[in-house]
Structure 1
Amino acid sequence: MGGLRKLGAPFVTRGPSGVAVRTRLRQLPTTDVEVLRQVGAHLGSLASRDLKARCRDGLGHDSGAWAVRKRELTPVSSARWAGAITKATHDQWALARRGAHAYLQSLEAGVRTLRHRLSLPIGEKGSKHAPGGYRSRREWHAKSRRLHVLEDRLARARADWVAGRVCVVRGGKRLARMRHHLTEAGLTETAWRERWEAKRWFLQADGESGKRFGNETIRVSPEGEVSIRLPAPLAHLANAAHGRYLLTGRIRFLYRGQEWGDRVAAHRAVAYRIHHDAMRGRWYVTASWQKPVTRTMPLAVALAEGVIGVDMNADHLAAWRLDEHGNPIGNPRRFVYDLTGPAGHRDAQVRHALTRLLHWATTCGVKAIAVEDLDFTSEKTREKHGARRRFRHLISGMPTARLRARLTSMADQTGITIIAVDPAYTSRWGTQHWQKPLTTSTRRTTRHDAASIAIGRRAQGHPIRRRTAPPRTHQSDGRGHRTLQADRQALGREGPRPRIAGPRTRSVPPDTARKRATRTPNTVRDVRSDQGWVQDSLLLTE
């Protein structure tokens, strides 16, 4: 046991702190579409200019520089539009800064692994926690050249990090690179240009509590009327009072519509974003607002009705329900999803699987779901796993962070608590202690099902193994219970079965009168017959 790492304690995850809902803008005439395009393009150019200024300031940026940038944007837009643009710029710069830090850590891990493996003799086997040497001289030479490449990248990344330089592309780096590969992407230059411009538009505004309907820039009434405060250069396009443009179509939020309506009626802050999907030719409105974080339930209270342990895999969720003593109940459940295809399809598959999981938990009456606190950030490098491309592709395709965030957000509406546990050794110990005992002629228990039991028992604080070793002195309960399936106070769980009134078998009891009439007598008697007197056979006993 000395080689095992220390396990972390299970904890209750925090609920979501914000809400975002989306709906479609329908029945937009040509005039409305043209106004939205002009406003988005104008504010998008201002956002690009502001992002350039923020990147130029780097680490020397302060509140004074922020105020200067906002004053420069106010005359060509408005005070509220300028505030929304500068805030979005700060968020984008901070996101790029976090991405640069993650890239720097990945390079450092790769260089460290390459140096270690290159220092070992060729063909030396690795240990359990460290990789070994390379298999051939040719591979060693190729990896030495890659080490120089990574060291150069690391030097540039460190210099950029110290200087505060970040790489940001408004519209997305992937779409920008697609411009040079239009044939492979199946796009024309006109179609690509339309998508590129739509991605760079800016039509989002932060909410303000106390203002009418919670937002002065993009205002949505409880009846679904959408109006936009036009920037100063486009004020001549207004069709309503105070320089506003009222869209023709109305919107309605189907999901959380009542909650949104209550906030708008109370004039509480709601942020809106209008964006155009160039591939489908549709316009959408996204409403978002903050909410107080749900108070986490104590761990003991959440586990009072048992728990459902969930093991996440590349193509399904393996789940098993456990009672309050850690015993599996019923049969395992499997929720399949497909993580191939575009991001929208993958996200929909994850949401559908989680919806079925939560419906099952609600039907069972369980108030807690246990999941692993997985993090594959340091496990995806090619330097660590070498030629195991399938394994690297497998762990890279598992959306661990998104699945946990989705599950926490969706479970908040159903009153189910999400418990995160340490993922160490759950698959190995679950297979060792639970797979074979739970496999029957009618049920095939997989190692993923066994891992779900291990996850649930770890959340409850029980050891994963089924039984402890008996006392060394004698084979009895002189030193207490030898099984850890139940608590000492759970009387009757290991005692004799209660006396049940009725027959001992499942068959119907026979008719007493009929049995007495048809049974063979055991005594000697004479019977009158046509042949005369006949004596029955005697019952010979000693």
Structure 2
Amino acid sequence: MAGTGARRLRTLADPFLAPVPSGVSVRDRLKGLTPEDEAVLRAVGAHLGSLASTDLAARCLDGTSHDKDSWAARKRELTPESSSRWAGTITRASNEQWALARRSQAAHLHHLQTGIDTLRHRLSQPLGTKGTRGAPGGYASRQEWHAKSRRLATLEHRYAVAVADWEAGWVHVVRGGKRLLHSRHHLGRVQLTEAGWRARWEAARFFLSAAGESGKRHGNETIRITPEGQVSIRLPAPLADLANAARGRYVLSGRVAFAHRGAEWADRVEADGAVAYRLHLDTGRGPGRGRWYVTASWTPQAVPALPMQAALARGVVGVDANADHLAAWRLDTRGNPTGNPRRFAFELSGNSQHRDAQVRHALSRLLRWATTHGVRAIAVEDLDFSADKSREKHGRRKKFRQLISGFPTARLRSRLTSMAHTLGVSVIAVDPAYTSRWGAQHWQQPLTNKRRKVSRHDAASIAVGRRAQGHPVRRRTAPPPHHQGDGVGHRTAQAAPGSCGREGNRPPVTERAHDARGRTGQERGDPAHPAPFGMGAVPK
């Protein structure tokens, strides 16, 4: 690289097809339940929830010394209080919860270590030292240096405690959620009464989940839903007196009709394919309000992945994801932007359900627009802000940290891949490095005119799409001046070889219409006023 002060660019990763979702999940509301049905569901959920809490505590006590023998012992202890199938589901859920907490603990350790390293480096620098592109500088004042030294001591203490828990195999798990537990002390802030919080807490600790069993009747013996929508539950042994059907089962009065992927679910149930079900209660804002929902999930049959070249055969839609909108532009097979850019806005405010609905609505409009134009590939940036949210890295830039923390990277990626797979659209993930900078440098100004103002995000979407196609981000450079057809005039050629008139830019429509007749008003082809070659004259 020329010059000692030139900036070193990092190596770009190759684009790749995002993996298709490994599971399917649909949900519907249980309507038409009688008070007796709701009482039975609450009794079963509370009983199994207490068993799940006890089993999770036992799993956490085992720590890293857990093996298949201890798993079998836990299952034998739960079987008399429930059934063998309920016991298997509860113990499997406890193992998965412990494993998830273990992975979160490892991520927490990595986050603490990164913050400690940054603080130590900045504290070792003299006050007011400017940072470089690879490492931060010193702190601005003595007061800030002192505050950050206390922050370092706090992080080192947290790290020591976390390391001790990791080596001992201890994890901290709250059934019902840590956020809901802490909101008990701030009821006014979350706008809840004590009775409302208690109802939500008890509903969150219910356990009404059953794994699917392939080959069994309708794919599940514990919670069974027929193709007609009839729901029945195998009651635990202590609650067998509540049964209203044969073999200790309780049949609910309400019916289920999955609107989304209902036909696919019905085909799987009729073929006795494994389907897992989960019943949960949404208490709303009051103890007397509540809606029961059922979620069905299964693993679809594996479909061979579409090759990259086949996915790009009809062009690609480049998408630049931002905090409040998706900037998209459609590119043809040669990487040229066609049409006008599109923007799909969303608002990440309110609760998690509202934010998720906003993301799904924006992605639905994006996919509808892409499929309308026949495009079968969408290119997005492979973003991951997990290492860029610490306050040790960005310091006083609190609004910027909040912006990054609120960016729905994981949710956007998972939602897009699942929704696109349903429509037969492939998702291509590209390296996000320099897409905004190079897109604005090479595409923003040439595509801006009086009728269209191209933003930096629109230009970045072109860079994302071209990188997915394997093209360089920059536009095709002009040939040397003396090798151009127009002499020394500046010109860029974006037309494909073999296109008519590719040696120059196409003149405006108004100019071609004006040249259709001679300046004297005589018709074209008049011997006195012959037309130039290319405008209707036939060369001899």
Check if 1:275 corresponds to 2:262.
Answer: no
Instruction: Give the structure 2 partner of residue 246 of structure 1.
Output: 251
Partner AA of 1:54 in structure 2: R
1:92 to 97, 102, 107: 97
Paired with 2:47 and 2:416, the residues of 1 have a C-alpha distance of 39
Distance 1:497 1:310, change over 3 A: closer
1:51 Cα deviation from its structure 2 partner: 0.1
Check if 1:203 corresponds to 2:212.
Answer: no
Provide Cα deviations, 1:260-282, integer angstroms capped at 9, x if missing partner: 10011111111100110011510
Distance 1:10 1:492, change over 3 A: farther
Partner AA of 2:314 in structure 1: E
Contact 1:226 1:246 survives alignment (8 Å) = yes
1:505 to 486, 498, 513: 513
Paired with 2:298 and 2:387, the residues of 1 have a C-alpha distance of 34
1:509 Cα deviation from its structure 2 partner: 7.4
Instruction: Give the structure 2 partner of residue 388 of structure 1.
Output: 397
| More deviation, 279-288/224-233 | 279-288
Distance 1:332 1:88, change over 3 A: same
Paired with 1:173 and 1:357, the residues of 2 have a C-alpha distance of 35
Paired with 2:317 and 2:50, the residues of 1 have a C-alpha distance of 51
Contact 1:13 1:296 survives alignment (8 Å) = no
1:181 Cα deviation from its structure 2 partner: 1.6
Paired with 1:451 and 1:496, the residues of 2 have a C-alpha distance of 27
Partner AA of 1:444 in structure 2: K
- State how 1:376-455 maps to structure 2 within 5 Å: 376-455=385-464
Paired with 2:171 and 2:493, the residues of 1 have a C-alpha distance of 55
Instruction: Give the structure 1 partner of residue 17 of structure 2.
Output: 12
Instruction: Give the structure 2 partner of residue 297 of structure 1.
Output: 306
1:130 Cα deviation from its structure 2 partner: 1.7
1:300 Cα deviation from its structure 2 partner: 1.3
- State how 1:524-535 maps to structure 2 within 5 Å: none
TM-score (norm 2): 0.90
- State how 1:127-276 maps to structure 2 within 5 Å: 127-276=132-281
Contact 2:116 2:152 survives alignment (8 Å) = yes
Distance 1:127 1:484, change over 3 A: farther
Instruction: Give the structure 1 partner of residue 37 of structure 2.
Output: 32
Partner AA of 1:50 in structure 2: D
| More deviation, 404-413/461-470 | 461-470
Contact 2:224 2:232 survives alignment (8 Å) = yes
Paired with 1:458 and 1:96, the residues of 2 have a C-alpha distance of 37
Contact 2:496 2:502 survives alignment (8 Å) = no
2:469 to 440, 452, 460: 460
Check if 1:351 corresponds to 2:360.
Answer: yes
Instruction: Give the structure 2 partner of residue 367 of structure 1.
Output: 376
Paired with 1:47 and 1:87, the residues of 2 have a C-alpha distance of 10
1:294 Cα deviation from its structure 2 partner: 3.2
Provide Cα deviations, 1:86-117, integer angstroms capped at 9, x if missing partner: 11111111111111111111000000000010
Distance 1:55 1:437, change over 3 A: same
Contact 1:325 1:486 survives alignment (8 Å) = no
SS in 2 for 1:21: strand
Contact 1:314 1:398 survives alignment (8 Å) = yes
1:506 Cα deviation from its structure 2 partner: 6.0
Paired with 1:305 and 1:330, the residues of 2 have a C-alpha distance of 15
Paired with 2:47 and 2:513, the residues of 1 have a C-alpha distance of 85
Partner AA of 1:252 in structure 2: A
Contact 2:319 2:329 survives alignment (8 Å) = yes
Instruction: Give the structure 2 partner of residue 111 of structure 1.
Output: 116
Instruction: Give the structure 1 partner of residue 130 of structure 2.
Output: 125
Partner AA of 1:187 in structure 2: L
Paired with 2:406 and 2:390, the residues of 1 have a C-alpha distance of 13
Paired with 1:486 and 1:84, the residues of 2 have a C-alpha distance of 61
Distance 1:504 1:406, change over 3 A: closer
Paired with 1:122 and 1:465, the residues of 2 have a C-alpha distance of 41
1:486 Cα deviation from its structure 2 partner: 5.9
Check if 1:288 corresponds to 2:282.
Answer: no
Contact 2:175 2:205 survives alignment (8 Å) = yes
Paired with 1:487 and 1:158, the residues of 2 have a C-alpha distance of 60
Instruction: Give the structure 1 partner of residue 502 of structure 2.
Output: 494
Distance 1:438 1:45, change over 3 A: same
Contact 2:60 2:171 survives alignment (8 Å) = yes
Paired with 1:476 and 1:103, the residues of 2 have a C-alpha distance of 60
Instruction: Give the structure 2 partner of residue 534 of structure 1.
Output: none
TM-score (norm 1): 0.89
Contact 1:318 1:449 survives alignment (8 Å) = yes
Provide Cα deviations, 1:283-326, integer angstroms capped at 9, x if missing partner: 00111101134322111111111111000001000000111111
Paired with 1:296 and 1:469, the residues of 2 have a C-alpha distance of 39
1:471 Cα deviation from its structure 2 partner: 5.4
| More deviation, 369-378/158-167 | 158-167
Paired with 1:497 and 1:118, the residues of 2 have a C-alpha distance of 58
Paired with 1:313 and 1:496, the residues of 2 have a C-alpha distance of 37
Paired with 2:514 and 2:247, the residues of 1 have a C-alpha distance of 85
Paired with 1:16 and 1:358, the residues of 2 have a C-alpha distance of 17
SS in 2 for 1:75: helix
Contact 1:206 1:271 survives alignment (8 Å) = yes
1:468 Cα deviation from its structure 2 partner: 3.4
Provide Cα deviations, 1:48-90, integer angstroms capped at 9, x if missing partner: 0000000000000000100000000001100000000011111
Paired with 2:34 and 2:424, the residues of 1 have a C-alpha distance of 43
1:469 Cα deviation from its structure 2 partner: 6.6
- State how 1:314-353 maps to structure 2 within 5 Å: 314-353=323-362
SS in 2 for 1:58: helix
Distance 1:428 1:249, change over 3 A: same
Contact 2:493 2:504 survives alignment (8 Å) = no
Contact 1:327 1:485 survives alignment (8 Å) = yes
SS in 2 for 1:378: coil
Paired with 2:28 and 2:514, the residues of 1 have a C-alpha distance of 61
Structure whose alpha-carbon radius of gyration is higher: 1
Provide Cα deviations, 1:180-203, integer angstroms capped at 9, x if missing partner: 122322222211111110000100
Contact 1:230 1:245 survives alignment (8 Å) = yes
1:495 Cα deviation from its structure 2 partner: 4.2
User: CA RMSD for the aligned pairs?
Assistant: 2.3
Partner AA of 2:54 in structure 1: R
Instruction: Give the structure 1 partner of residue 527 of structure 2.
Output: none
